[in-house]
Amino acid sequence: MKDGIQVIIRPASLNDVPIMATMMGEGLDSRLSDLGPWFVRFLHRHMVSSRYCACLVAETENSIVGYAATLLSTKKFYREFFLKKGIMAGLMILPWLCTPRNIRTVLNASVYSNQANQADPEAELVSIVVQPEARGMGVGQKLYWGVVNELTNAGITRLKISTPKENKIANEMYIKQGCKYMRSEQFSHDVEVNVYYYQIL
C-alpha cells in the first residue's frame, strides 16, 4: 500500500463480515478466534446487525484495510446476543469446548458485562484491526475518530477502551487521541489490559 491512496471510513455491511472475521482472527489476539471460524463470523454478523453496536470499515479503492467495532451499550448488546442467538451460538462452539482455555473464554464472555466496573462508560470500543499492509498510515486513527463521530451522532458522551498492556502501538495511539488511562486489570487468566476513558465533547 502506497502513500497517497485514499482511505474511506464507512459503516460496515453484512457483505463485509467475512473479511472482518478474517482480520480479527489474523490481526487481533482474541480468544474468541479459538471458538472456531463459523462462530467468529456469526458474532460479526450480529455486531453489524445490532442496534447496540456500531461497526465501521476502512476501505481503499481495491480492498478493506481495517475495521472497528464499538458497543453502544455493552450490557444491552450482550443481553440481546444471548437472548436471540445464545442457543445457536452454544451449538456452534460446542465442538470447540475441548480445552480448559476455550471453556474459560466462554465463561469470561458470558459474565463480562455483569462484572464490569459500575463507573465505566456504557459504550465500549471492542476492536480496531488494521491490515499489515496499511499499518503506520493512520488508518487506526481514522477508524477511531469515525467511532467518536458515530457515538456523537448517537448522543453518547463517554467511551471505554480496553487494550492489552503489552500492545505498545495501541496504547500509544489511544493516549495520543486524548484517552485517559484509568487502570490496569486482569481480563483473563493470562491477559492484562489497560483501561482508558474518552470524554466526547
For residue range 64-119, what is the model confidence (pLDDT) as tens digits? 999 999 999 999 998 998 888 876 766 666 555 555 655 555 555 554 545 567 79
Strands (E) across 78-179 are located at 123-130, 158-164
Q: How confident is the model at residue 26 (pLDDT cuts 50, 70, 90)?
A: confident
Q: State the virtual CA torsion across 69, 29, 35, 160 in degrees, nearest 10.
A: -40
pLDDT reported for residue 188: 65
pLDDT reported for residue 1: 44
pLDDT reported for residue 152: 96
Task: Specify the residue for cell string 489511544.
Answer: 174
Q: How confident is the model at residue 14 (pLDDT cuts 50, 70, 90)?
A: very high
More confident residue, 190 or 110: 190
User: Mean pLDDT, to the nearest integer, of 3-26?
Assistant: 89
pLDDT reported for residue 117: 75
pLDDT reported for residue 191: 78
More confident residue, 33 or 78: 78
pLDDT reported for residue 62: 83
The structure's pTM equals 0.83
Task: Kindly give the pairing relationship between strand 8-11 and strand 53-59.
Answer: antiparallel
User: Mean pLDDT, to the nearest integer, of 148-166?
Assistant: 95
Q: 5-9, 27-31, 38-42, 127-131 — which is least confidently predicted?
A: 27-31
Please provide the size of the chain in residues.
201
Look at residue 139 and tell me whether its pLDDT is greater than 70.
Answer: yes
Task: Specify the residue for cell string 484495510.
Answer: 65
Mean residue pLDDT across the chain: 84
Look at residue 28 and tell me whether its pLDDT is greater than 70.
Answer: no
Residue whose C-alpha is closest to residue 7's, from 61, 53, 75: 61
pLDDT reported for residue 118: 79
Percentage of the chain with pLDDT > 70? 77
| Domain 8-199: CATH superfamily, name plus number | Gcn5-related N-acetyltransferase (GNAT) (3.40.630.30)
Residue whose C-alpha is closest to residue 115's, from 199, 186, 47: 186
